[in-house]
Every structure is written in C-alpha cells, then in structure tokens.
Amino acid sequence: MDDVVLVNVFASEPGGGSPTPIIADASGYDADRMLAVARRYGHECTFVFPPEDPVAADFRFRFFVPRQEMNMCGHATLGTIWLLRRMGKLRGTEARIETMSGLVHGVVQHADSSDEYVEISQPAGTVQEIRDPAASEIILDVLGIRAADLLPMPILNAATSRMKTLIPLQSVGVLDALRPKFARMESLCTALNSTGLYPFAISDVSAHRFDARQFPKASGFPEDIATGVAASALAFGLVAYDLISFSTERITVRQGRAMGRPSEIFVRFDVPGPAAQPCGCFFGGQVVMGTE
C-alpha cells in the first residue's frame, strides 16, 4: 500500500480547499506507479525525491494528474512543503524545490501561528489580448454565456508558469451559474494555446478580492477547486485591466465555492522597490490535514 498522506490546500472553511495526496518519500517509484496513484485518488499528486543538485535545492518534486505528469502544480507544492515541515523533513521556513518547470522557492509565513500559510514563487507574468472575434464567440458558447455577461474588458491570455485564459464576468452570480460544455474544453484551449479557462468576477476591488473558477484543458477532471498558477496569472491580468496596480498589497482570489470546496488563494507581487516593475510574484494559502 502506498504511503499517501492527504492534505487540503487553500482551505478557507472546514471542508474547503483542494485535496492533495502526497508521498513524502517516493524513492523507487517509476512513472507508471505514480500515474496509478493519481488515477486512484483523482487529484494532483506530489511525489518527493532527493534533489539532483543538493547545493541548489532541498527536494525534487514530481506531479501527476489522472491523465499525465505535470511540469508544475502550485497547490501540490504548497501542501507538500507544509507536510514536510510538519514531518520534520524541512527544518526551517524556506525550501528550494526542483521541478520540471525549474527551481521554485517556498516560504512558510507566520510559522507556528494560527495565521500560518505557505507561499511559493512565480516568475513575472505575461499578458496578451485575444483579438480574434471568432475565438471570443467560441469561448462564450463553451461557457454558455452571452456577450452581455462580460465586463467591458478584453479576454486575455496571461501566464506565469502556465497560460490561462482570463474571462471577466459581470458578477459573481454569473460566475457561479456557469455550466460549461466540457466536451469542447480541450479543443478550445488547444486553439487558444491555453491550459485552462479562468473566468473571474470582481468581489471587492478596493479590498483586492476576486472570485474565479478554473476549467482545465486536460487534467482528467472538469474543474479545479483552487489554482495558484491561474490566480497568479490573474493578478498580472488585473493590472492590465487597470483594476489594481503593482504593489505589495495582498490579492485574494476565492475559488471552489461552486464545487462545495471554498478556497482562498493569496497573491502578492515581488516588487523590489518603489515604482519598480515586479520581478515575479508569490502565491499561497493555508493548509490543513485531509481525510480519505
């Protein structure tokens, strides 16, 4: 029997957050065995290995979803850092993680307090407007909405680690009511050069609080409970929309409510000085133990 520990990442209420199965010592696991674990649990799974370069990194993580291996999985990284510290395998509050996407820096904030949460680094974001009217029409059709349901803002492709398609909606009510045509999601995302649709709505712009849902291209499940890399891409998109500015103020993205798994993702820009462009960002959230 595999030594799987389940944690919930980004939980904002009891029963919330994204379930993450973790194997804290995956020595001896090959790809087939890791894929089998992901298929059994139906979630993104983390497998921990010794680093290939012990000078530069503390651990190496591999990530699998039911259909494939992933280069990077944000919430799984957060949950695994939290678990490794709880198990005594990470003794400090910082971790350097080798992933297929490159080196990731993790930090435990407010350690050992009720406000503890984990965050990880992301590179600076890129943002590009989708100008093809035909592509926009297909997006609306797949989401089952009308142009009137959109805010008067463009649809954007934005990325830190992975490309996400940002769709600005008129209200949280419109967001919660979405019933996408999932059979067309993969082909649409392929055409958009995106790994998922990320429709969002403004909850409280003055408080930097937004709501979102993630419909992935091809993960083996139709919707994500909480998606840190998408929230990071959204943060850079929000600047492009002129809804926020590059500052050190924390952004909160709420996700998972429509799935009965309320979650909160925190994002902050890594701004080196006044009036400077960010060199990246950090996203994070709280982690709690899960149950089978």
Cα(162)–Cα(201) distance, integer angstroms = 21
Name the amino acid, one letter, at 3: D
Among 227, 238, 229, 230, residue whose Cα is nearest residue 263: 227
Interatomic CA distance for residues 267 and 93, integer angstroms: 18
Question: Mind listing the pLDDT tens digit for each residue in 113-140?
Answer: 989 999 998 999 999 999 999 999 999 9
pLDDT at 267 over 60: yes
Residue 47: which residues within 8 A CB-CB, separation 6 or more? 22, 23, 26, 29, 34, 37, 61, 62, 63, 64
C-alpha to C-alpha distance for 52 and 60, rounded to whole angstroms: 7
N-to-C CA span, the chain? 14
| Dist. CA 267–CA 208, nearest whole Å | 10
List, in order, residues 6 or more apart from 33 with CB less than 8 Å away. Answer: none
Q: Within 13 Å, how many C-alpha atoms sit on residue 22's CB side?
A: 29
pLDDT digits over 194-244, tens only? 999 999 999 999 999 999 999 999 767 799 999 999 999 999 999 999 999
Measured CA distances, 227 to 25, 205, 246, 256, 266 (Å): 25, 20, 21, 9, 11
Read off the pLDDT of residues 31-76 as tens digits, 9 standing for 90 and up: 999 999 999 998 889 999 999 999 999 999 999 998 899 888 889 9
Inter-residue contact 207 to 236 (CB < 8 Å)? no
The pLDDT > 90 percentage for the chain reads 82
The answer to whether the CB of 242 falls within 8 A of the CB of 84 is no
Give residue-wise pLDDT tens across range 140-167. Answer: 999 999 999 999 999 999 999 889 999 9
pLDDT at 274 over 70: no
Six-digit token pair at 292?
């089978």
**Per-residue pLDDT at 67:** 86
Instruction: Flag the least confident range among 60-64, 91-95, 232-236, 273-277.
Output: 273-277
What the block records as the tokens of 183 is: 């059979």
Q: With contact defined as beta carbons under 8 Å apart, do 253 and 12 qualify?
A: no
- Domains of the chain in start order, with CATH, are 5-122 (3.10.310.10), 126-289 (3.10.310.10)
Q: Are 156 and 240 in contact (CB under 8 A)?
A: yes
Please give the structure tokens belonging to residue 257: 């409510």
Q: What burial class does residue 97 get, using C-beta atoms within 10 Å of its C-beta: 0-12 exposed, 13-18 middle, 19+ buried?
A: buried
Beta-bridge partner residues of 214: 224
What integer pLDDT is reported at residue 98 of this predicted model? Answer: 95
